[in-house]
Amino acid sequence: MLARPLKYARPASVAEATALLRSHPGARPLAGGQSIVNVLKLRAAEVDALIDISRLEELRTIAATPDGGLELGAGVRYVELASAPLVRERLPIVADVADGLVDVQVRNRGTLGGNICLNDPTSNFPPLLVALGATIRIAGAGAERRSVPAGDFFVGPYRCALEPGELVHSVVLAPLGGDEGVGYQTLQLARDSWALARAAVWLRRDGDAIADARVVLGCLGPRPARQGAIEAALLGGGGGEASVSAAVAAPLEGIDAVGDSHASPEYRVEMARVYAKRAIHQALAQTEAPA
Ligand SMILES: Cc1cc2nc3c(=O)[nH]c(=O)nc-3n(C[C@H](O)[C@H](O)[C@H](O)COP(=O)(O)OP(=O)(O)OC[C@H]3O[C@@H](n4cnc5c(N)ncnc54)[C@H](O)[C@@H]3O)c2cc1C
């Protein structure tokens, strides 16, 4: 099917883009176009104008923050995240996740901002950003940016905490300390197939014990789901096989798994526990001094 006729604008600045979005309530930003063009061709959304933000340099920067973290522009493409030395050096998991996305065509066009604003339940970045405790910086009217924690940004399937007339400006990530680790594990039948279950984990050790943790499951509900009971069960433990196995058996939260021709809901949930365990061990391994 062809998309309905619509208007197109290519603003020269973020301020102009947000002004256009405010004055055209039926307009949507166009970033990599990897998802919205399909949505328009399926006529699955009422959109009467596209505001092309894909060439705004202000959204295309990868910057070091003074505390040792990163600020990633919403318009940075996966291929740029995967190959940026600064991202590799400071938060290699972000580069790895970008590098693992689908295929070269999608990686060449798709953007970080598009990924999180689409917020498909199977999207790669939302669970990772919640696990990392990222902050989403949002541009609206005026020069001030407002900030929303990633944990509050993903509201539901295909919905995020943007108000009309706003767009995502950038994602801010804190640095990883030597006593912190990150894990990210996905169950996929093939690299270019939809994920069945996903787990993202951040944790911090204090001596021999896990002192803090964020465990997030993706693909199994309306939004990336933090697992408070698993996190609580991990705290104070040493991260041994038995204690991690016991922790991932804790009751799950925010899960509404659906079945399809690939997997039953029960299988997805069971696999989510298995992949959460793997992600926890992956994160723990980064906090251990090399032998
Ligand atoms: C074959 C195929 C397989 C895919 N598989 C996966 C996969 O396994 N995992 C995965 O994570 N993704 C997958 N995707 C989706 C891909 O990652 C998309 O690129 C991404 O979801 C959207 O990014 P985009 O830059 O193309 O955004 P667009 O398609 O341009 O926009 C997507 C939505 O976000 C809005 N938007 C974009 N940028 C902003 C912004 N800065 N502020 C506010 N709103 C904004 C748009 O208005 C639109 O509503 C796949 C896509 C294809 C075509």
Domains of the chain: 7-51 (3.30.43), 58-173 (3.30.465.10), 180-286 (3.30.390.50)
Report the half-sphere exposure of 138 (CA within 13 A, side-chain side): 19
Q: Which residues contact 192 (CB under 8 A, 6 or more apart)?
A: 102, 103
Q: Report the nearest-CA residue for atom 13 of ligand 1.
A: 123
- Cα distance between residue 133 and residue 127, in whole Å: 10
218 lines ligand 1 (CB under 6 A): no
- Taking the centre of ligand 1 as the mean of its atom positions, its distance from the CA of residue 103, in whole angstroms, is 13
Q: 15: how many CB neighbours lie within 10 A of its CB? A: 14
Q: Identify which of 283, 123, 151 has the alpha carbon closest to the alpha carbon of residue 225.
A: 151
* Nearest CA among 36, 77, 34, 35 for reference residue 55: 77
Q: 104 C-alpha vs ligand 1 centroid, how far in Å?
A: 14
The confidence score (pLDDT) of residue 260 equals 87
| Inter-residue contact 196 to 263 (CB < 8 Å) | yes
Q: Is 35 in the pocket of ligand 1 (CB under 6 A)?
A: yes
Query: How much is the pLDDT for 288?
Result: 74
Ligand 1 pocket, residue 74 CB under 6 Å: yes
d(CA 115, CA 172): 15
Q: What angle do CA 147, 49, 103 make, to 5 degrees?
A: 70
DSSP string for 121-158: TT-SHHHHHHHHT-EEEEE-SSSPEEEEEHHHHEEETT
Element (H, E) at 167: strand 167-173
Write out the chain's pLDDT in tens, 291 residues: 788 889 999 999 999 999 999 999 999 999 999 999 999 999 888 899 999 999 999 999 999 999 999 999 999 999 999 999 999 999 999 999 999 998 999 999 999 999 999 999 999 999 999 999 999 999 999 888 999 999 999 999 999 999 999 999 999 999 999 999 999 999 998 877 889 999 999 999 999 999 999 999 999 999 999 999 999 999 999 999 999 999 999 999 999 998 888 899 999 999 999 999 999 999 999 997 655
Residue 163 pLDDT: 95
Nearest Cα residue to atom 4 of ligand 1: 102
How confident is the model at residue 191, as a pLDDT? 75
- Residue 196, H or E segment: strand 195-206
Say yes or no: CB of residue 168 within 6 Å of ligand 1: yes
> Would you call 193 helix, strand, or coil by DSSP?
coil
pTM over 0.95: yes
Q: Are 172 and 148 in contact (CB under 8 A)?
A: no
Kind plus residue range of the DSSP H or E element containing 64: strand 62-64
Q: How far is the CA of 77 from the centre of ligand 1 (A)?
A: 10
